[in-house]
Chains A and B, each alone.
Chain A
Amino acid sequence: MIGRPRKLDVMAQIPGKMVLAATACLFVLLGTAGAQGGGELRFCLRTEPKTFDPLKVEDDAAVSIRYLTGGVLLRMNRQTQALEPELAHSWKVSKDGRQITFKLRSGLSFSDGTPFLAEDVAYTVQQLMDPALHSPTGDAFRSGPGTVATKIISSTQIAITFPTPVAGLDRLFDQVPMMSAHSPKKEMAVLGPFMVADYKPGATVLLKRNPNYWKTDAQGRKLPYLDSIRLDIQPNRDVEMLRFRRGELDLINSLDSEYFDKLASTSPQLVHDAGPSLDSEQMWFNQVSKAPIPAYKKNWFRSLGFRRAISEAINRDDLSRIVFRGHAQPAVGPISPANKFWFDSKLHAQAYSSDAALKLLQTEGFRLENGTLKDREGNPVVFSIVTNSGNKYRERMAVLIQEDLRKIGMQVNVVTLDFPSLIERIAQNFDYEAAMLGLTNVDLDPNEQMNVWLSSAENHQWNPQQKAPETAWEAEIDRLMRAQAASADAKKRKESFDTVQEIVVEQAPFIYLINKNALSAISTAVQDASPVILHPQTFWNAERLTVRAAK
């Protein structure tokens, strides 16, 4: 259900006697706001938000709005990557990883004045775990069959018990904004620093300061400083850039490297490169047994030597230098080095060597004849890489890979398809040979990738929905992923997932290419911005930002 604020008819319900008092309060509030004078922050959402219901959120636009409006029990500090208390001042996860107990701050209210109590947490969890919800946020908590139990210990204390252990349980609450069990405004009553004040479909979402926000700064001033945030819905990145240059926008998240360099050449003070992000670009070969491709090609794609040779023959430094103008790093494996805790530091990016790749292919029975690589049966090595059209970086990477593989006698055809057609091929009819896509990681915890690594999962892209693991190494990954998910011990989980990373790098079902840098542009009018690699990059500390008024 989409809650869409239109006309606020709250005034009609206020008794006449209260009008005078309310007016006085309003003057006080306006006076305070005026004194703070944080200004209006303006930036773009690249798609229309599909919903304002924080529990149903799936798209980037809605995630941004949820971040700015939702009050969460715990918040992962986007700069330190550490979990910090928010609406809950303390929490405890049971040893078996099934239960979490929160102690809530007292005296807090939603934006409409409804008090925030433990029963609101219980209500939110029940809504979130409704089997009919089918949202990524809720599904992240589902580790096994059974129902979730909530026990309200007092008005400020609650215990939530899950049927099976949930890995990284406390961190998952970073994505769960609390909803009011009693507010007539439903999901539009929020606990975050801002609240949705107006929504013009296809055009803008206007967020205003939440007057009941609970946080204050070190000087005791109420947060947030900003008066409002205007989010313009603008899918076109050229237009976004143009408007930023004109001073109509204050920041751009996930800036393209091309725009970054253009802007850097004229106004270096506006651009920020926070280093490698969590996002990766990778390619993989179709190993689905029922895929409608020739059997000899399936044999290539299932050959470890073939996959590793491809990985070795790709010059990742060139991809980074030429395609991303140096604003990307050669990828190592499933986890970006930016993920401080979970990255396996024993791993290193694959070194480029077309000679070594060719030697490896020769040991697998391939031979080079007149510049063309042929397999044992004499079939020339020709295959196509599909990727999504309109993404110039992927298209350019595919062309460079085509050139790298030509050096070892392979003929690669690059096919670009629009997203629905691409998804149909890679996830439904498996009519493709190799694919190149990116993986956007929202959470640091590898449990989020469970549906990628389990051989039975839908998103086990190279060979999904296996009834039983088809290879020993996939069976081992299944075992390790389940073991880490069942454990509440972070050290043991890390050990298990390190081994998963090593197996993935060794077996190369995904050939990791690069990790893009987190690039952004921020107007000099914005004060106290410090862009980070994690979403939402530039406005993670929105409550403490201010915008200087234009002269």
Chain B
Amino acid sequence: MLGWRITRHAVAILATILLGGLLSATLVRLAPGFDADEQQLDPRLSAESVRTLRESRAQEHSIFRFYLRYINGAMHGELGMSHSLSQPVGTLLRERAPLTLRLVALGLLLSWSVAMAMALTSAWLRVSALDALSTIVTGTFLCIPAAVLALLSVLWNVPGSLAIALIVLPRVYRYWRNLLAKAYSLPHITTARAKGLGELRVLFWHVIPMAAPQLLAVAGVSVSVALGAAIPVEALCGLAGVGQLAWQAALARDLPLLMNITILVTLVTLLAHSGADVIGHMLRSQEI
């Protein structure tokens, strides 16, 4: 049963990546200014050089041909060349992925820890004033655009991971708080409490196991939120990660780079979702 679930996820991931890559390539190809290069306006370039510059993107005009060639290259570990940075895409991603992963991981860890602490406190104590305060604080962060939080982190000289944490926190907190509150309101928890079971025992033996699959699902979703937040945070904080690269690639209509980044982000997001689903399934199976 678990094997079948993992296989199903693997097939879904592969299909989504292939489709996502094609869609991303098509969108970039259809974007205005797709094959325009700023260098074309350099008056020092000869007519032949300008022509060569234009022809350099000619092989990307047919998107299906380009995509088939890309898949063939990718199977041999060749991800193409970035137009805007004149470097192999594989090298660029290898150099920058660690920073983004570190940034996102720290941001998620921080946001999950704070969100869990706040959600537990809120669901456990059930003090309306505390609940209202948490709602106001997280609601404020929800209203502030990611770019503004990124700029504030630059202004106050705090790490970019904190900005990511503040972007993810309100999105996770509300769901987790509701899930835990719902779990606490179940009849068997009330019975357990009435029978004098300690609060910690109630929490770790009954509440969290009950809500764990859903909590994990929300955590999986928050990975894609954090990855999305990494783009403005890295671009504005001047952090040399994949997010900054994605921003530069989009501005320069850098098809090979943009497509590979889309595929990478899709892969990480799907792995997080699928991982959360599989673990949730395992937990549910144990309960049964």
Decide if B43 touches A419 in the complex (CB within 8 Å).
Answer: no
Q: Please give the distance in Å from B157's CB to the nearest CB on chain A.
A: 8
Chain B residues, Cβ within 8 Å of A203:
240
Indicate the member of B36, B151, B244 with the most A CB atoms within 10 Å: B36
Q: Which of A40-91 contact B (CB under 8 A)?
A: 48, 50-51, 58
Which of B34, B42, B151, B245 is close to A238, meaning CB atoms less than 8 Å apart? B151
Q: B210-253 interface mask toward A, CB cutoff 8 Å, 1 = contact, 0 = none?
A: 00000000000000000000000001111111001100100111
Q: B140-181 interface mask toward A, CB cutoff 8 Å, 1 = contact, 0 = none?
A: 000000000001001101000000000000000000000000
Chain A residues, Cβ within 8 Å of B244:
202
Chain A residues, Cβ within 8 Å of B238:
232-236, 239
Decide if A136 touches B251 in the complex (CB within 8 Å).
Answer: no
Which of B45, B236, B239, B251 is close to A451, meaning CB atoms less than 8 Å apart? B45
Within 8 Å of chain B (Cβ to Cβ): is A302?
no
> Contacts A51-B86, A242-B154: A420 and B47 contacting too (C-beta < 8 A)?
no
A214 to B264, CA, bound (A): 49
Q: Please give the distance in Å from B74's CB to the nearest CB on chain A.
A: 22
Decide if B46 touches A142 in the complex (CB within 8 Å).
Answer: yes
Decide if A451 touches B96 in the complex (CB within 8 Å).
Answer: no
Chain A residues, Cβ within 8 Å of B45:
134, 136, 139, 451, 458
Chain A residues, Cβ within 8 Å of B235:
235-236
Q: Which of A9-31 contact B (CB under 8 A)?
A: none
Q: Please give the distance in Å from A389's CB to the nearest CB on chain B.
A: 11
The stretch of B48-56, B187-195, B265-273 that contacts the partner chain: B48-56
Chain B residues, Cβ within 8 Å of A136:
42, 44-45, 49
Decide if A421 touches B43 in the complex (CB within 8 Å).
Answer: no
Decide if A50 touches B240 in the complex (CB within 8 Å).
Answer: no
Chain B residues, Cβ within 8 Å of A142:
46
Chain B residues, Cβ within 8 Å of A51:
86
Residue of A nearest to B244 (CB): A202
| Number of A residues with CB within 8 Å of any CB on chain B | 48
Q: Please give the distance in Å from A60's CB to the nearest CB on chain B.
A: 11
> Contacts A142-B46, A242-B155, A448-B43: A420 and B96 contacting too (C-beta < 8 A)?
no
Within 8 Å of chain B (Cβ to Cβ): is A415?
no
Decide if B50 touches A458 in the complex (CB within 8 Å).
Answer: yes
Q: A355-372 interface mask toward B, CB cutoff 8 Å, 1 = contact, 0 = none?
A: 000000000000000000
Chain A residues, Cβ within 8 Å of B287:
none
A202 to B97, CA, bound (A): 12
Chain A residues, Cβ within 8 Å of B248:
48, 235
The stretch of A286-294, A312-320, A404-412, A423-431 that contacts the partner chain: A423-431
Residue of A nearest to B151 (CB): A238
Within 8 Å of chain B (Cβ to Cβ): is A452?
yes
Within 8 Å of chain A (Cβ to Cβ): is B3?
no
Within 8 Å of chain B (Cβ to Cβ): is A528?
no
> Contacts A2-B87, A421-B33, A423-B33: A450 and B43 contacting too (C-beta < 8 A)?
yes
A200 to B240, CA, bound (A): 9
Within 8 Å of chain A (Cβ to Cβ): is B41?
yes
Decide if B236 touches A424 in the complex (CB within 8 Å).
Answer: no
Q: Please give the distance in Å from A481's CB to the nearest CB on chain B.
A: 12
Decide if B240 touches A202 in the complex (CB within 8 Å).
Answer: yes
Residue of B nearest to A131 (CB): B48
A259 to B234, CA, bound (A): 23
Chain A residues, Cβ within 8 Å of B86:
2, 50-51
Q: Please give the distance in Å from B243's CB to the nearest CB on chain A.
A: 10
Decide if A58 touches B39 in the complex (CB within 8 Å).
Answer: yes
Q: A81-113 interface mask toward B, CB cutoff 8 Å, 1 = contact, 0 = none?
A: 000000000000000000000000000000000
Q: Give me 21 A-to-B residue pairs in the complex whose CB atoms sit less than 8 angstroms apart, sorted by A's number.
A: A48-B248, A51-B86, A139-B46, A139-B49, A200-B240, A201-B240, A202-B239, A202-B245, A233-B238, A236-B235, A239-B237, A239-B238, A242-B155, A246-B157, A418-B251, A419-B36, A420-B252, A423-B41, A437-B41, A452-B43, A459-B43
